[in-house]
Structure formats: structure tokens, C-alpha cells
Amino acid sequence: MANQTEERIEPLIDYIMKNCLWQFHSRVWDREKQNEGVLSIVTQLLCDEPVDLTTPANRCYWADAVVLVDAYKTHFSWLGLMDKAEIASLITALHARLNHLTITGSLNAELTDQRY
């Protein structure tokens, strides 16, 4: 199962890295908030759960999430064959991988430069 999850995560990550600008904030805390905000709403949308749009931040995350979910449904039809628990688990693993690539594993020293 872990191997299948990894195989599914990589094309999803690849899509984000090539097509989504929201992942490129200049600060660690911005990237953490953005990744969490967008991907939590992606999970809600893919799992047909209600989304809280009462804050400006959530509406911003929602706009990015809607575009990403539409692309995922178009390019990765196997998502439609997964149940809600599998989707939630997949997006949780995707979130961890994205955080590694854009935050903890990033060589961008500006992310943590206090003077920047």
C-alpha cells in the first residue's frame, strides 16, 4: 500500500510543482500556512465535505484548491475510484511530501533569513 501511495503522490506533486504558484511564498511560516490551507480544502472538496469560507484566508485557499481539484480530476481519473478515507490519507501524505520539498528539504536560505 505504501508503494502505491508513493506512486500516486509523485504525479500529484509534479503537477503542483509545475503549475501552482501558491507553493512559492518567501517565508517558512507562509509556506506552512499556504500548504495546510490549500491541501486541507483540497481534501474537503475531493471528499465532498463542507468548506468554511467565512474568512478571507479560507476563500483564498479555496480558490487555489478548486483549480487544483479540477486539474486532479481531469488528469488523474483514478482519484474517482478511491473512497474518502483513501483520499484523505493520500492528501495527508502529499502534504508531508510537499512540506519536505518546499520547506524542510529546501536549500533556499531566504526561507529562514530573519533580515529578509
Q: How much is the pLDDT for 106?
A: 61
Which of residues 40 and 104 earns the better pLDDT score?
A: 40
107-115: long-range contacts, CB 8 A cutoff, minimum separation 24: 110/26, 111/26, 111/27, 111/28, 111/31, 112/28
Banded pLDDT at 4 (limits 50, 70, 90): confident
Residue 22 has pLDDT above 80, yes or no: no
57-61: long-range contacts, CB 8 A cutoff, minimum separation 24: 57/33, 61/34, 61/37
Mean pLDDT of the chain: 89
How much of the chain, in percent, has pLDDT values that exceed 90? 69
